[in-house]
Structure 1
Amino acid sequence: MWTKKERVLAVLNGELADRPPVSAWRHFIEKEHSGVGLFAETMLDWHRTYDWDYVKLQPRASYYEEAWGGEFDFENYEGVLPKCIKGPVGSAEDLDKITVLPGNKGPFAEQIEAVKAIQEGVADGAPIFQTMMCPTSILQKLCAVNPIGRYRAASRDDLMVTLMHEQPELVHRTLKNITATMADYSRQLIHNGLFGVFYGATGLSRSTYLTKEEWEEFVKPYDLEMMDALKPCKIMVHACGLDVNPEYFAHYPIDILHWPESATGNPALDSAPRWLDRTITPMGGCDERLFGQHKADEIGAMTRNTLKRMKDIPFMLAPDCSLALNTYDDELRAFIMAAHEKN
């Protein structure tokens, strides 16, 4: 009988387990901003209800901006994002405010305590992955730029891209400060025994957003610094959206690469052996847009199709991104039932 941790470690070692490890995640916007206890209880309830093999934590999407002085109205959400009352960066002059912060204070301290509480409550040693955005994604959020929509065209007409061209040295200095802060936060998490990090590369690598040259200059160097700081955590990189170029990450020093094969312009999951470094485990397999639409049958069918295509390839089974707030229980049960079937 395989334990959850054994199942995850097997596929990360390039071996086939009894079945692929499976999990899913979503925001609980009414329970993510009221202290450690409620958030930890919510994540543990989600884990226990569906018996996930690994736990991808879903903290509120604003905790990075809060650390640098962002203010939010938690009674007024726009999707999964609380309404921003005050963004830390509105002009080039504001970048001076983005200094190096200790990784164990403020919202970071809250998240460290939440991880501790959740680690103590998981079943069967299920590995925990804390969500952490890459430094350039954090800068994007500090500039009050909404994350690039998963399945809508990206726009380059935003403050961060403008600053990259008008004040590149200042942007690099700011990214170094963010990276130093997140590296210290990483060390605190590692000290407390965290198994892994869900590292949100978001949609920065999309062909219609940053150019490859911009990505190489303003994203990749800081990613690699974070990869080094995160050792020995297992690193799960998530690239999100249309035309997201997961091959950019094909030789990163990471353990898992998660991308939406269901989005236009992205490679199929079962193509991974042809281009992905063999030490990196592919992850995905079900279009998250099916959830919240009473499409349990379609979810089950897509999951079975993925398992059939990937039967000889070690991988981690998951939706292609975060699930809808109105995801239904029968959809989740269909996903899990298909995932647990003997092939």
Structure 2
Amino acid sequence: MKQSERFAAAAAGTGADRPPVGAWIHFGSALWSAEHAAAAHLRFYAEYDWDYIKVMNDYRFAVPAGLTEITEPGQLARVGAEAVAHPEFDVQLDVLRRIRTAAPDAAVIDTVFSPLQTVVRSLGDSVIPHLRESPELAHQLLDAVTSRLEEYVARSGEVGVDGLFLAVTGAATDASSWGLSPAEFSAWVAPYDRRVLRAAAGVTRIIHAHGDGLNPGLLADYPAEVLSWSPAASDLAVGELYAGTGRVPMLGLDEVSSLYWPPSRVRQSVFAARAEAEDRLILAPGCTLHSDTPPAVLRALRASVEPVPSLV
């Protein structure tokens, strides 16, 4: 099967010839041109012969000039009112076009961050107390940011991406969720995430549930075909999740511990995931790999989907 066909078949649960495999790291490309960012992705793809290219999005959502953090609630209204034109979207679209053209057989997956996470990535987590203080302004801001993301996702579909990887924070209990309660998640995160996912209808939609102590029930009504999470940070059982939700799991490699694993440990991890999912999965790290992950680990991940050569 062609790489993009293999990815689509696995994501739809219709039977790929083998699980598609890929991995991703942050290249530190926030200040790079589209040409340089695309080149880094393409080199990583070619070096390891991945089936899919998860295109990182290290560019930040533009905020009003001179505003680097929220210090009083009124600034939320300013960010929302000025959330109109964002040049970083154009740069990311250029990255995607370059990758799509240079790698026609690969599945190309764009990365988008949850609207609330998009705000935090640009202004810091000190914004959270101000959202609590001014819920009306919070919703105005999140609505404005979501509208821009909906427009962007529609444009990325026109570029020819195969999937959308929506990074979701707030559904867990560790520090990455900023202390959000289930009620706050249901108010500030889920409704806006669902809008972004609906805007991506027509491509494979992947939810990446980030953090330790994940509460999968908070994501139950998200319109998505694939669920990515870190088994190292959650006790979710792969087989039970697939049976209960129909979502294809995207996992296989511990993104933290594998930094120090020998290739044999990588193979053990992947074979265990494949067995538990009965090969109905997309092989991937549970989250972003450390940028210093050894090439031997990445090569072992790629090789773990190939038949063992006969010794006869």
- Asked if these proteins are the same fold (TM beyond 0.5), I'd say yes
- Inter-partner Cα distance in structure 1 for 2:8 and 2:303: 22
- Give yes or no for the alignment of 1:63 onto 2:60: yes
- Inter-partner Cα distance in structure 1 for 2:82 and 2:8: 35
**Counterpart for residue 33 of structure 2:** 35
**1:47-86 alignment, distance < 5 Å:** 47-60=45-58, 62-64=59-61, 67-69=62-64
**Counterpart for residue 235 of structure 2:** 266
Report the RMSD for the aligned CA atoms in angstroms. 2.1
TM-score, reference length from structure 1: 0.82
Q: Deviations over 1:228-253 (max 9, x none)?
A: 22222321110112112233223321
- Inter-partner Cα distance in structure 1 for 2:57 and 2:142: 22
Task: Tell me if structure 1 keeps the 8 A contact 2:153–2:199.
Answer: yes
Taking a change above 3 Å as real, the CA distance of residues 316 and 70 of structure 1, as seen in their structure-2 partners, is farther
**Counterpart for residue 80 of structure 1:** none
Q: Deviations over 1:178-210 (max 9, x none)?
A: 1111111112212222221110103x1114532
Question: Aligned AA for 2:55?
Answer: L
- Inter-partner Cα distance in structure 2 for 1:237 and 1:213: 20
Task: Tell me if structure 1 keeps the 8 A contact 2:253–2:285.
Answer: yes
**Counterpart for residue 293 of structure 2:** 327
- Inter-partner Cα distance in structure 1 for 2:15 and 2:156: 29
Q: Which runs of 5+ in 1 are unaligned?
A: 72-85, 146-158
Q: What secondary structure sits across from 1:9 in the alignment?
A: helix
- Give yes or no for the alignment of 1:117 onto 2:114: no
**Counterpart for residue 9 of structure 1:** 8
- Inter-partner Cα distance in structure 2 for 1:139 and 1:174: 9
Task: Tell me if structure 1 keeps the 8 A contact 2:208–2:228.
Answer: yes
Q: Deviations over 1:299-339 (max 9, x none)?
A: 2211122122222x521111101011111111111111112
**1:237-256 alignment, distance < 5 Å:** 237-256=207-226
Shift of residue 107 of structure 1? Answer: 0.8
Q: Percent identity?
A: 25
The number of residues matched between the two structures is 304
Q: Deviations over 1:22-46 (max 9, x none)?
A: 11000122x5522011111110011
Q: Which one has a larger percent helix, Structure 1 or Structure 2?
A: 2
Q: What secondary structure sits across from 2:75 in the alignment?
A: helix
Q: Deviations over 1:205-232 (max 9, x none)?
A: 1145321111111111111111222222
- Inter-partner Cα distance in structure 2 for 1:306 and 1:294: 16
Q: Decide which of 142, 148, 168 is 1:201's aligned counterpart.
A: 168
Q: Decide which of 97, 116, 137 is 1:136's aligned counterpart.
A: 116
- Give yes or no for the alignment of 1:179 onto 2:146: yes
Shift of residue 87 of structure 1? Answer: 2.0
- Inter-partner Cα distance in structure 1 for 2:63 and 2:226: 30
Q: Which runs of 5+ in 2 are unaligned?
A: none
**Counterpart for residue 74 of structure 1:** none
Q: What secondary structure sits across from 1:163 in the alignment?
A: helix
Taking a change above 3 Å as real, the CA distance of residues 70 and 249 of structure 1, as seen in their structure-2 partners, is farther
**1:83-232 alignment, distance < 5 Å:** 87-98=68-79, 99=81, 101-102=83-84, 105-122=86-103, 125-145=105-125, 159-202=126-169, 204-207=170-173, 209-232=179-202
- Inter-partner Cα distance in structure 1 for 2:262 and 2:239: 24
Task: Tell me if structure 2 keeps the 8 A contact 1:269–1:283.
Answer: no
Q: What secondary structure sits across from 2:256 in the alignment?
A: helix
Q: What secondary structure sits across from 2:305 in the alignment?
A: helix
Question: Aligned AA for 1:68?
Answer: V
TM-score, reference length from structure 2: 0.90
Shift of residue 342 of structure 1? Answer: 5.7
Shift of residue 293 of structure 1? Answer: 2.0
- Inter-partner Cα distance in structure 1 for 2:161 and 2:272: 33
- Inter-partner Cα distance in structure 2 for 1:173 and 1:193: 31
Question: Aligned AA for 2:263?
Answer: A
**Counterpart for residue 152 of structure 1:** none
Q: Decide which of 283, 303, 328 is 2:270's aligned counterpart.
A: 303
